[in-house]
Amino acid sequence: MDYRKEKTVITVETLRRTVIYSRRRAFTARCGKCAAEVQMLVPERAAALLNTTVREIFRRVETGEIHFSEDEGGTLLVCRNSLAALVGKEINF
């Protein structure tokens, strides 16, 4: 009697992609540096408007070139006025 054992290996791969999208591109909030209610942008939108990277926006926030605040959830919001001053012109959406 020839008893052969067969072994079946099943491999399952999964991929999860999370996309977070907000229809709101700008928020009105108080900028501590401007001391006024101004439009605040998410860093991704600010980077797109300035034709740069999100990392560059964060770097300029860290150096103080761009004003910012954080919402209740800790999301960084960038001051539109400081972006306009940085590029020397009005920024339109």
pLDDT, mean of residues 63-80: 90
pLDDT score of 18: 47
Q: For residue range 6-65, list pLDDT tens digits in order.
A: 888 888 888 765 444 455 566 788 899 999 999 999 999 999 988 999 999 999 999 999
pTM of this structure = 0.67
83 closest CA partner among 71, 52, 73: 52
Contact 20, 6 (CB under 8 A): no
Cβ atoms of 54 and 47 within 8 Å: the answer is yes
